[in-house]
A and B are shown apart, each in its own frame.
Chain A
Amino acid sequence: MTAQAATTSQHAVEPAETPLTPESWGKLGMWIFLAGDAVGFGVLLAAYGGMRATSADWPNPYDVLGINLTAAMTFLLICSSVTMVKALEWLGRGDRAKAKMFLFFTALGGAIFVGCQAYEWTHLIQSGLHINGISGHALELAKGQGATLFGTTFFIITGFHGMHVTGGVIYLLSVIGVVSRRPDPAASYNVVEIVGLYWHFVDLVWIMVFTFMYLL
């Protein structure tokens, strides 16, 4: 019990100064994690680009995927980034209720995004685009080894990103719990700022994925 209380206070009060981030070590930790994660996405996208550049029969993504729903999803994710910064802004002003509301909107935006992605995947799989090949209706739009690689990279990269969004929604919901448990808004400011970093990163990655996999 005492140990638990000690752990809680240790988390609530972070070391005051680091040379890298004036606010917290936690923020530095998240930035380093994101830098590593960015390498992961960078490698996946570079591999995508490499395979695409070396395939003569790469399908036109626009024909196979369609971009109307995805454009709406992109816009949704940008909106959820705005609700995320609003949550931090309200917490900075000391309004926990508003901050929690905007955190919830952010999580909701993420959940809808993943839902749209599930719908999109179902649609694409039914039309014949699979992780290990291409068949049925999709075969009329794309053929050959390039099309197979296209399916593989599409599901791996959007899946990896969707996994990040799913994780982000769980993370956001648990941060709402943290804000609820701490009566002092200033005590959870760092936690909300750090979840914000993660969420904006997921948005940033989607901007890249949307451009490279859907538009180009």
Chain B
Amino acid sequence: MARDEAILDGGRAVLRRALWRCPSVTIGRFQAWRLVEFGGAWCGPVRRITGGGAIFHGEDLTLALVAPSPSPLLPDRAPEAIATRVADAIGEALAAQLPGLRARGGTFDERSQVDVLDCFDRATPTDLGVEWADGSFEKIAGLALHRRRGRILVQASVRRQDRLPLSGDRALLDGIARALGAKPRMIEDLADDEEERSWQLMQSRYGSARWNRRVRE
């Protein structure tokens, strides 16, 4: 989370994959702390700067896209248009790996889902789901955004599962970049100034109970 925000505060357009040292939980910027009563061996929870619901990380593919908005990469400023563009790109990349896969958004409006704790129990039009051959719908990717000084951070979680035998994270990342057209830079490591900013943010924000437990108690 700190690394994504450090990139947001920099000047690069970046697509990156986040790796987790242990299974972790992140919660949305405005989610109530009292709802977060997770058992088990989860690290966190850590509050994101992006919106949306709680995400259980570890088995998922966690992505972050950072870019100016508007820009060739994200031509629209409206959050709904940005989320739709990124969800469509993920859907296109998945479909390229799994011919016949039918990806679509959910049908519930945003406001009706705000008290649903788990991101993957929500299904709004800007979410990404799969319609299986039996007609059932399953959400497979959730997105959350933050806008700051003309730049956008999109954090996305793609759920891995047996019915989605993906050929690899790198292939999916390449597919998403291709689908976005204007190719963002794909990075594994941060620049020195981003690493330093990330460290500051870990101290001041993401490692702080004041941030993680804040608001709507």
A and B together in one complex: no
B residues adjacent to A (C-beta < 8 A): none
